[in-house]
Structure 1
Amino acid sequence: MNNSQAYPIGTPGQKWGEAERLQWRATTTIKREYQQEVVPKIKALENEFVVEQYGALSYDEERYPLFSIKSKNWQANKPTVLITGGVHGYETSGVHGALKFMANEAKRYEQHFNIIAAPCVSPWGYETINRWNPNAIDPNRSFYADSPAEESANLMALVASLPQEVLVHIDLHETTDTDETEFRPALAARDGIDYEADSIPDGFYTVGDTELPQLEFQAAVIESVAKVTHIAPADANGQIIGSDVVQHGVILYPMKKLGLCGGVTNCQYGTTTEVYPDSPKVTDEECNDAQVAAVVGALDYVLKNHRT
């Protein structure tokens, strides 16, 4: 299947230039409001945590401030946990799952960890229900020096400002039907390559780091989430989204090489979650709960098994 035939923007076999990027941006619209749906939930946590603005997006700095939520009693002798959500703004449960964990579960882990969450890394993407930022750049392929994505650069600066190395990083994502109907065809068109159709896995899975898989840790996350929602099976080729399934519900990516948010730290324990919100078997709230369960499973594993 040829990308240029499937996607209405661009010329066959040619990468997009500025004109195509502007044409694409003109197709985006505000569908929900960050200041109404997300910021109030962040502000509601101010009594229990330190809520700080760590940046703002230049597209509209007043509309798109970036917030972190972190432990009040930050101590040098505690390991640090980073939770990120909304790196792809359209992946709703990443945002609201991070907020739900902070509201309902984080306090019971604070005696063991310093916790910091960046619940909505890409608020423009959240509002337009988009994978990219307004410049047709994917923030989750842009975590590297001199990043072209403001969203990624701001988060990298936040991580660099932390007083200790991060031990645990959980990056909360979704895989949706629109990945196949919109975002992958758009990516192929943008890059001037052929679009290869793929299938969307029905269920939750995790992506570990090829360089440090921590498969027992990944298994603990899967086990925790399985109490809330179903785990994605491998396809007929033993794969999920084109990557080999290395154990039940787990695939691996080279995080730093691909510029993924999962490689933004040098953490010992890292996982990227992938919830499937379009399944008829789940509700939106169950998707949020699956994200919470993933963080809980990760932290419980580290508490039980990590030795300094």
Structure 2
Amino acid sequence: MHSTYPIGTAGQKWDEAERQAWRDQTTIKRHYQHEVVAKIKALGEQFNVKQYGALSYDPDRYPLFCIKSKPWHCDKPVVLITGGVHGYETSGVHGALQFAQSEMARYSKHFNIIVAPCVSPWGYETINRWNPLALDPNRSFYANSTAEESANLIKLVASLGDNVLVHIDLHETTDSDESEFRPALAARDGIEYEAGMIPDGFYTVGDSENPQPEFQAAVIESVSKVTHIAPADDKGEIIGSVVVQDGVINYPMVKLGLCGGVTSCTYGTTTEVYPDSPKVTDQECNAAQVAAITGGLDYVISQLK
């Protein structure tokens, strides 16, 4: 399907002029400091809140924080929770914060836990998938990344060593993926836009190089108690990928530069909530993210016994 995006010339990749035009039409729509940073800092007595970087676009406005369990025991496996890699995916950010507020202390008995709840705060404020350079942080997890958001998280993960056992990356699939972000991507790359279908419900993306189907199933089972699971389409797919089990597809995480490949963890998954469904509320979306984490961690605990 051909789509005329308002920026750029059909069939031509964007240059800096087009990227600037795209950047100029972005606006601040919500407040990272008030809505996210304040909640992170409120956890400072219970956990170790650390700044692991800042975005050069405005370092004072966009500091990057993580929340770490304390005390940190060297003999415990590490769990990494990331949210807001795509800043516009609201429940990724607030689901991570809700987990830290309500469940992290309990699971810290079994794990060292580190939560990076908002990897892309500029994207959070402008409700965008990209960063200001029209780069997708969730395709930028590779050596010498040009996306600051990704590079800062890579550095944080490197500081954890090689003992990250679990990584759960919290995302959403929204109607705006088809109305705005995928058409913009096609325009930026000078290719023709082909319309897709947004799945109605929750699903996960495993690593095709390490799929861990029983772990994925535990996540899906836990989430199914909170919200509905996305069905496969008439091709047996979700967003163009084969459904390998109920509510699960797989991607090659490292090859695609996805956040899900930022560690060499044994158990990893990327969650996808559908916040635009008439069947859910914002709070249910946050609760689904928490259920994904707890379901996954409960499974891992059962394997460690």
**Does the alignment reach a TM-score above 0.5?**
yes
Q: Is the 8 A contact 1:174 1:277 kept in 2?
A: yes
> How many residues get paired?
305
Counterpart pick for 1:116 among 109, 114, 117: 114
Runs of 4+ off more than 4 Å = none
Residue aligning to 1:51: 49
Q: Is the 8 A contact 1:80 1:164 kept in 2?
A: no
Residue aligning to 2:2: 2
Give 1:305 deviation, angstroms.
Answer: 1.6
Residue aligning to 1:236: 234
Q: Is the 8 A contact 2:140 2:257 kept in 1?
A: yes
Give the share of equivalent positions with the same residue, in percent. 77
What is the distance in 2 between the residues matched to 1:182 and 1:199?
13
What is the distance in 2 between the residues matched to 1:33 and 1:237?
41
What is the distance in 1 between the residues matched to 2:74 and 2:57?
36
What is the distance in 2 between the residues matched to 1:244 and 1:142?
24
Residue aligning to 2:71: 73
Counterpart pick for 2:178 among 173, 176, 180: 180
Q: Is the 8 A contact 1:203 1:230 kept in 2?
A: yes
TM-score (norm 1): 0.98
Give 1:2 deviation, angstroms.
Answer: 2.1
What is the distance in 1 between the residues matched to 2:125 and 2:144?
25
- What aligned pairs does 1:94-133 form with structure 2 within 5 A after superposition? 94-133=92-131
TM-score (norm 2): 0.99
**Higher mean Cα deviation, 120-129 or 155-164?**
155-164
After superposition, give the CA deviation of every residue in 1:97-121 in whole Å (9 maximum; x if it has no partner). 0000011001111111000000000
After superposition, give the CA deviation of every residue in 1:132-161 in whole Å (9 maximum; x if it has no partner). 000000000000011010000000000001
What is the distance in 2 between the residues matched to 1:108 and 1:175?
29
* Residue type at the aligned position of 1:27: Q
SS for the counterpart of 1:179 is helix
Residue aligning to 1:291: 289
Q: CA RMSD in A?
A: 0.7
Give 1:164 deviation, angstroms.
Answer: 4.5
Residue 251 (str. 1) matches residue 249 (str. 2): yes
Structure 2 unmatched runs, 5+: none
SS for the counterpart of 1:52 is strand
Structure 1 unmatched runs, 5+: none
Give 1:10 deviation, angstroms.
Answer: 0.9
